[in-house]
Amino acid sequence: MGASDAGCGDLPPVLSSFVDAFVDFSVSGLFFPPNPTPSPAPAATRIPAPARLVAIGDFHGDLPKALQALSLAGLADPSSARWTGGAAVAVQVGDVLDRGGDELRLLYLLHRLKLDAAAAGGALLTLHGNHEVMNADGDFRYVTRAGLEEFTAWAFWYRSGLAMKHLCSGLDPPRDPFRGVPESFPGVKEEFWEGFRARIAALRPNGPIASRFLAGNQTVLLVGDSLFVHGGLLQQHIDHGLERINQEVKDWIMGLNGRRSPSYLRGRDSVVWLRRFSDGPNCDCGQLEEVLSMIPGARRMVMGHTIQEGINGVCEDKAIRIDVGLSKGCTNGLPEVLEINAGDQPRILTSNPLYDERWKQDRKQQAVVKEQVKEGLAILVPEIILKEVETKG
């Protein structure tokens, strides 16, 4: 091929598409056609309420458990990994990365589901969690051995693709994302150096994985009257501007806004680290109401980040916490998702067969509300838990 560049005249586009599809399949096991449906337009910061809205908590590198949650929500077929949610809108609140070994496979899966959802008239919207921010910043404290191995394998296939593309002079020389990445890491075992190099190359601002998958995330979303954020929002974040936050973070991920994350993504009071409204039953309801009042139309804040024994709400369900520690790298929690249908109260879809027992324990501590048995084991529960629950086996 290299000896006969004249034969490359019509080959570059075909070769490039083939190589990209080859690398994608080798890394993820998923096939993306050379000319896929155009990627969905970037989500706006404020979106009208859909007929069906679903919220899903942190995945943390666990593909099988993520598929269980998506299947429970009626959004994906776990056997084919294709979208089944029709026109539903789903929000995943971040922390796809770290604590597990399926990080890249999850990013690829979510990308394909986004394409499928858009073609079906729905949408899958993803947020940044603190672990996406940490990895883009080069902070790998919560990376697992399996996670490093997955990125090492990605580096092999990505470099193989670069080598293939260099076979034909008709292609523009592809950028080498490994350029400038350190060869060694003092204080880190040498067996992990290649995994560290791969993660830095892939996930740093303007890295191929960051720019392809993470740049499509939002940091905060208002869908109907539900405000979605990984950690939480305070008054100073609203003053900074929700649209401005989303655009600045996107620019940072794309390498257009410096190497280090914006200050409102770092520290205990940042939008991806805040636990003020999600840590235990004590919540500053007054401050929460003040924050919500600053955003026209916002009725509730839906958050991940802080692991709960099950999805729950406080402050009259103005704060809803949906991280159930799903991943085996966390607490291996049973899947639960939040469903908000137009005109209805939010309800929990759960696969937890012990939900009735959890309800009984809460009932002893809370004021009792009127019970109402519904089809599919749906029940009304005390206020500390969202008022309508559907259990699925």
Query: Cβ atoms within 10 A of the Cβ of 253, count?
Result: 26
Could you give the CA distance from residue 362 to residue 344 in angstroms, rounded to a whole number? 23
Contact criterion met (CB below 8 Å) for 209 and 158? no
Q: Which of 245, 255, 180, 175 minimizes the C-alpha distance to 214?
A: 255
> Closest Cα to residue 242, out of 225, 222, 224, 257?
222
Q: What are the residues facing 312 on neighbouring strands? A: 321
Amino acid type, 281: P
Asked if 61 and 147 count as a contact pair (C-beta separation under 8 A), the reply is: yes
Nearest to 58 by CA among 129, 136, 133: 129
Collapsed DSSP state (helix, strand, coil) of residue 311: coil
The CA R_g of the chain, rounded to the nearest whole Å, is: 22
Query: Which residue has tokens 């034909």?
Result: 168
User: Sign (positive/negative) of CA torsion 114, 117, 119, 125?
Assistant: negative
Amino acid at 19: V
- Angle formed by the axes of helices 145-165 and 193-203, nearest 10°: 60
Q: Which candidate, 122, 127, 105, places its Cα nearest to that of 56?
A: 127
Alpha-carbon span 212 to 290, nearest angstrom? 36
Distance, CA of 323 to CA of 302 (rounded, Å): 10
**Given 60, 111, 131, 237, the catalytic residue:** 131
Q: Does the annotation mark 128 as catalytic?
A: no
Which amino acid type is present at position 268? R
204: nearest Cα among 274, 270, 140, 112: 140
DSSP helix/strand/coil, 52: strand
Residues pairing with 123 in the sheet: 89
Distance from C-alpha of 162 to C-alpha of 167, rounded to nearest angstrom = 9
Residues linked to residue 76 through DSSP beta bridges, in sequence order: 83
Catalytic residues: 131
